[in-house]
Amino acid sequence: MDFIPSPPTITEWSAKARIGGRTVGFVPTMGALHEGHLDLVHRAKALCDHVVCSIFVNPLQFNNAEDLRHYPRQMEQDRALLAEAGCDALFAPEKEAIFAQFTPTTYDLGGLDGFWEGPSRPGHFQGVVNVVERLFHFVRPDHAFFGEKDRQQLTIIRHVGRDQLWPERIVPCPTVRAADGLALSSRNARLSLEERKQATVLHRALLHAATSAFRNSVEETSKAALETLSTVPEVRLDHFGIADVDTLEPLTAWGKRTEAVALVAAFVGPVRLIDNITLRR
């Protein structure tokens, strides 16, 4: 695997990789890699001729300095994991290189940041979209792979991509879970053993919502999930809700839909976790 710390070199690498109509798949990450990230790499390998992964802890998307400071960093381990997964290049730029000659843009997010994660994390999604644009600009991938665990991020990136006519194809990938249902996340590493157990209530609540959905009202379905969450009082709820799969707008009735999504965010110890599940009729 090639290790590429500087932007011009990754652009040259990618141009060479695309000769003869071959394709480049891209997995953008902030490091502290787990099976969820490696699954994205495997999916990229299955669909593309070459795979680039980036590791860049993007300061623009943290609205809490403590969160940024505590974000896990483990470059040597990540590098070994990516090489083993068959990734072809690791792009790991410095902040100065990514943001040279750069002024952040305020993107039209189509109001998609008006709920769920948006109000709790002001500026977060603008920060994500700015860095994704920057990474795409340097890597020039054909396909880019994003996990459904960050459902609102994925929805917003697809929206901006369509709006800005980004040529990259955004590929959504299913959430990878531990055997007990907890969605894999780099933040899980900060949970104590006890908190790790408590955190599994998030997935149990989502499963209850999935069982109740479309049989009971939206209100009853939310109530069932909230009751499950309240069985572990150490888990402090930030939000739970049911939304339209495309617009993520909060729902009060199912209407004629055949699908919806339930989203949850909660603090477990010092760590804020998010998860979601697709609800099907």
Could you list the active site residues?
Answer: 37
Please calculate the CA angle 32-34-40 and round it to the nearest 5 degrees.
110
Residues in the chain: 281
Angle between helices 124-139 and 151-163 (to 10 degrees): 60
275 - beta bridge partners?
A: 264
Nearer to ligand PAF, 128 or 242 (CB): 128
Please tell me whether residue 38 binds ligand PAF under the rule CB under 6 A.
Answer: no
Indicate the DSSP class of residue 280.
Answer: E
Q: Give the contacts of 252 (CB within 8 A, at least 6 positions apart).
A: 218, 219
Q: What are phi and psi of 5, to 5 degrees?
A: -90, -10
Binding mask 145-174 for ligand PAF (x = CB under 6 A): -----x--x---------------------
Please tell me whether residue 235 binds ligand PAF under the rule CB under 6 A.
Answer: no
Please tell me whether residue 58 binds ligand PAF under the rule CB under 6 A.
Answer: yes
Which window, 11-19, 22-30, 115-123, 267-275, contacts ligand PAF (CB under 6 A)? Answer: 22-30
Please tell me whether residue 142 binds ligand PAF under the rule CB under 6 A.
Answer: no
Angle between helices 75-85 and 35-47 (to 10 degrees): 40
Please tell me whether residue 277 binds ligand PAF under the rule CB under 6 A.
Answer: no
Nearer to ligand PAF, 115 or 136 (CB): 136
Q: Which positions lie near ligand PAF, rule CB under 6 A?
A: 28-30, 58, 61, 128, 131-132, 150, 153
